[in-house]
Amino acid sequence: MRIKAVLKSLLFAYAVTGIFLLLLALLLFQFDLGEGPVAAGIIVVYVLSCLFGGFMAGKIVRKDKYLWGVLVGLCYFVLLIAVSFAVQGKWDMTAQHAITTFFMCLGGGALGGMLS
């Protein structure tokens, strides 16, 4: 049951990611945003997606909510790195960027779990 809750929450988080990235692409197209705002938008998408996924996991499991939120954030990060590596065929991220993204995903998931 708990694994199923994490998988549902992870799927929900990636659906939210898709919606937010489409919205970001629309904003980029309409307003010709530079590289800085797009990078900031992607960071916001990571955090909000993990927050919503952690929130959903906390609502489903109802015990140790923040831990389940952290687990959703961890799974989100691992899947994000795996897909990125599979698509590009190489490691295309600095260690600093990977560590920052890791903690943003975990923090977003934990916050979502705590707020649920």
pLDDT digits (tens, 9 = 90+) for 22-69: 999 999 999 988 888 999 999 999 999 999 999 999 999 989 999 999
Alpha carbon distance 39, 101 (integer Å) = 12
Statement: residue 103 has pLDDT above 90: yes
Q: Which two tokens stand for residue 99?
A: 């560590």
Domain ranges of the chain: 2-115
Q: pTM of the full predicted structure?
A: 0.92
Q: Cβ–Cβ contacts within 10 Å for residue 101, how many?
A: 19
Statement: residue 1 has pLDDT above 80: no
Average pLDDT over residues 11-27: 96
pLDDT mean across residues, the chain = 93
